[in-house]
C-alpha cells in the first residue's frame, strides 16, 4: 500500500464514514447531514507524473486549517492564505522538479487544486455560484470575481515589477490561476486595481480568490436545483 500522508488521513476516514455503505449500516435514520446535504464537500486528488507528485485535499466546509508543503516557501504562504480566507480545510502535499524551476510544481498544483474544487462541488445544487471579493493589502488592491459556470476562462490583469518573490516566479501566478480555472470549470477575473509591492499584490490576490470561492460555494436553501435558468451548471 502506498504511504498515505498524515494530513490526508482525515480525508480517508471521512470518505469511509460518508460512503453509502457506512451510512446504510451506521447512520440510517440518524438524520446525519452537513449543510443540508448528505455528503462532505471534499475533493481529493492524487496526480503523479515524471515531473511532479501531488496530493491535494480540499474541504469546502472547513475552518481554515491548512498544511502546505510544495518546496516553495512563498507558494506555501499563498496556499495557506487562500485556505484561511476561504474557510476551507486543505492539504497540499507536493514534490516537484524544483531543480528545473518552479513551473511544473506550481502549474501542476493548480491543476490538482482545480480538480479538487470540482470534485468537492459535486452536482453544484443550491450553491450561490458567483463570488466577488476586493482585498487590500497596504498599497495593493485586488478584485477577484468568479462564476462556477463550467465555462473555464481567465482574465488576468496584473503586472509585476519583480521576476521573483522568494523562490516563486511572479509569472507563475497567472499560470496557477489558469490551471485552477480550467480544471475546476471557473470563469475567473483577476484585476489589480492598485499596487506596487509584488508580495502585497500576490497576497491580496490569493486572499481575494479564497473569499470569492467561499462566497460562490455557499449553500443557499432558497436555491432549488442549480442556480441557472438553463437547469445545468
- Shorter beta-carbon distance to Mn ion: residue 11 or 206: 206
In angstroms, the Cα distances linking 231 to 123, 160, 178, 196 are 12, 40, 26, 43
- Shorter beta-carbon distance to Mn ion: residue 147 or 203: 203
How is residue 66 written as a grid cell?
A: 491548512
Least Å distance between CB 202 and Mn ion? 9
- In the region spanning residues 191 to 220, those forming contacts with Mn ion, defined by CB under 5 A, are 203
Nearest residue to Mn ion, by Cβ distance, number only: 203
Size of the site for Mn ion (CB under 5 A): 1
* Residues 57-76: x where in contact with Mn ion by CB under 5 A, - otherwise, as a string: --------------------
Least Å distance between CB 201 and Mn ion? 11
- Shorter beta-carbon distance to Mn ion: residue 42 or 76: 76
3 state DSSP class of 198: helix
Least Å distance between CB 106 and Mn ion? 17
Indicate the Cα dihedral angle 204, 210, 214, 217, nearest 10°.
130
- In the region spanning residues 70 to 129, those forming contacts with Mn ion, defined by CB under 5 A, are none
Least Å distance between CB 155 and Mn ion? 25
How is residue 88 written as a grid cell?
A: 476551507
How is residue 194 written as a grid cell?
A: 492598485
> In the chain, where do the E strands start and end?
42-48, 52-59, 66-69, 89-96, 130-137, 140-147, 153-157, 164-165, 168-169, 187-194
The Cα 52–Cα 108 span in angstroms is 7
- Shorter beta-carbon distance to Mn ion: residue 46 or 197: 197
- Shorter beta-carbon distance to Mn ion: residue 120 or 140: 140
In angstroms, the Cα distances linking 51 to 42, 95, 98 are 26, 9, 9
Least Å distance between CB 84 and Mn ion? 12
How is residue 217 written as a grid cell?
A: 460555494
- In the region spanning residues 134 to 193, those forming contacts with Mn ion, defined by CB under 5 A, are none
Least Å distance between CB 231 and Mn ion? 43
- Shorter beta-carbon distance to Mn ion: residue 93 or 203: 203
Strand pairing class (164-165; 153-157): unpaired
Task: Please give the residue ranges that form the binding site for Mn ion (CB under 5 A).
Answer: 203
Amino acid at each position: 500500500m502506498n504511504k498515505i500522508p498524515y494530513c490526508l488521513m482525515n480525508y480517508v476516514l471521512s470518505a469511509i464514514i460518508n460512503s453509502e455503505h457506512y451510512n446504510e449500516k451506521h447512520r440510517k435514520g440518524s438524520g446525519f447531514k452537513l449543510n443540508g446535504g448528505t455528503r462532505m464537500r471534499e475533493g481529493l486528488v492524487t496526480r503523479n507524473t515524471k515531473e511532479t507528485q501531488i496530493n491535494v485535499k480540499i474541504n469546502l466546509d472547513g475552518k481554515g486549517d491548512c498544511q502546505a508543503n510544495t518546496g516553495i516557501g512563498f507558494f506555501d504562504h499563498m496556499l495557506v492564505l487562500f485556505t484561511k480566507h476561504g474557510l476551507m480545510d486543505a492539504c497540499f502535499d507536493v514534490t516537484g522538479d524544483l531543480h528545473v524551476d518552479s513551473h511544473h510544481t506550481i502549474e501542476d498544483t493548480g491543476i490538482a487544486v482545480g480538480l479538487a474544487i470540482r470534485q468537492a462541488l459535486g452536482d453544484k445544487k443550491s450553491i450561490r455560484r458567483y463570488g466577488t471579493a476586493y482585498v487590500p493589502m497596504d498599497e495593493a488592491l485586488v478584485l477577484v470575481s468568479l462564476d462556477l459556470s463550467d465555462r473555464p476562462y481567465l482574465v488576468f490583469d496584473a503586472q509585476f515589477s519583480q521576476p521573483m518573490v522568494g523562490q516563486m516566479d511572479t509569472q507563475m501566478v497567472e499560470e496557477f490561476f489558469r490551471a485552477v480555472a480550467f480544471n475546476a470549470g471557473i470563469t475567473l477575473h483577476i484585476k489589480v486595481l492598485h499596487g506596487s509591492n509584488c508580495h502585497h499584490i500576490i497576497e491580496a490576490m490569493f486572499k481575494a480568490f479564497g473569499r470569492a470561492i467561499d462566497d460562490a460555494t455557499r449553500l443557499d436553501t432558497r436555491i432549488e436545483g442549480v442556480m441557472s435558468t438553463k437547469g445545468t451548471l
